[in-house]
Amino acid sequence: MKVSVIVCTYSPRMFSHFVECIESLLRQTYKDVEIICIVDGNKEYYRMIKEKKGDLFREYEIKLYLNDRNLGLLESRNRGVKLSSGDIVAFIDDDAIAEKNWIEELVKMYKMGAIAAGGKLVPLWIAKKPRWFPEEFYWLIGATHLGFPEEVTEVRNTFGSNLSFRRDVFLELGGFNTEMGGIKGKKMLQGGETELCERMRRRYGKGVMYNPNAIVYHKIFERRIKIDFLVKRAFWQGYSKAVMKKLVGGIDVETSFLKYLLIDRTSDRLKSIVKGSTDNLPKLMFIWLLTFFVGVGYIYGKIVTQD
């Protein structure tokens, strides 16, 4: 079972992180792996990679492609899949590092009959971890959040930096919907993997097999933990869920998680506060704040996307 791993990159500022990501893929315990790198329209960066790491790419037969123009992450991933030859296509971002048995653990899911598989995204704190940021909202920074399953099970989707599909299934679905990712005017649409996995679930009756032992470490830079960034991201996450509901009609996972936040987690954190916990008060306040902005974004999205 051959696995093609797609890595998309755009900015020269990410060069060292991109190389670290590639090196983690070269250390995989599973060996039938093809690495495909897509440089998204940045010709100077493409030349830089070839000049500085050309020998490495040739030695390990890593495939490097340049988009003629900036297409965005989702369309770049779609192109990477079309250029791939594996039975399985897996996605990881250029600011992430794969655990050495990552692909091996994903492949286990396919041997169990999965049509898609993903794993755990662990935050790798480049910036200092903020004491006030609630683990329930780690999904805002691209990491697996508190409340996500802790065992092998089927879920609707995992995150795009730790997600894979049978190649034939991905192509039959038409790949990622490029309307669900990137900046559209002043809109910052998100959730391309969520929309694709919901379409898959509706078409095939199957979700993503989640294996928490398939670990990818996602670097969390300082810009990702600024309050204005988190608030904006929460708003546009809500907006994107409204768009997704219009496109595919399902946000049951989000509804269940909202109840979990406002009932279970609020109750647990209030109990800890009563017992004298000093960390839980700011975390609870941020749960409410970020939930509020997700809700505002969703309502705004419902209004502006009406026919």
Residue with tokens 């809500």: 238
From the CB of residue 36, how many other CB atoms can be counted at a distance below 10 Å?
23
Beta bridge partners of 124: 219
Domain boundaries, the chain: 3-226
Please state the pTM of the whole predicted model. Answer: 0.93
pLDDT single digits (tens) 167-182: 999 999 999 998 876 5
Average pLDDT over residues 271-300: 93
In this structure, which amino acid lies at residue 90?
A
From the CB of residue 149, how many other CB atoms can be counted at a distance below 10 Å?
12
Average pLDDT over residues 213-217: 98
Is the predicted pLDDT of residue 184 greater than 50, yes or no? no
Contact 39, 64 (CB under 8 A): yes
Question: Phi and psi of 25, rounded to 5°?
Answer: -75, -30
Is the predicted pLDDT of residue 185 greater than 80, yes or no? no
Show Cβ contacts of residue 128 under 8 Å, excluding neighbours closer than 6 positions.
Answer: none
Report the C-alpha gap between 241 and 238 in whole angstroms.
5
Question: Phi and psi of 49, rounded to 5°?
Answer: -65, -45
At residue 23, the pLDDT reads: 98
Radius of gyration of the chain (CA): 19
At residue 177, the pLDDT reads: 92
Contact 9, 39 (CB under 8 A): yes
Distances (CA, A) of 220 to 108, 205, 256, 305: 28, 34, 27, 32
Flag the least confident range among 15-19, 96-100, 228-232, 247-251.
Answer: 247-251
3-226 CATH, one of 2.40.50.140, 3.30.590.10, 3.90.550.10, 3.30.450.40: 3.90.550.10
Give the confidence band of 307 by pLDDT, cuts at 50, 70, 90: low
Give the confidence band of 252 by pLDDT, cuts at 50, 70, 90: confident
Please state whether 142 falls in left (phi above 0), alpha (psi between -120 and 50) or beta.
Answer: left
Question: How is 214-261 classified by DSSP, letter by letter?
Answer: EEEEEEE-GGGG-HHHHHHHHHHHHHHHHHHHHHH---HHHHHHHHII
> Which helix (H) or strand (E) element contains residue 63?
strand 63-66
Calculate the CA 216 to chain-centre distance: 10
Is the predicted pLDDT of residue 187 greater than 80, yes or no? no
Give the confidence band of 190 by pLDDT, cuts at 50, 70, 90: confident
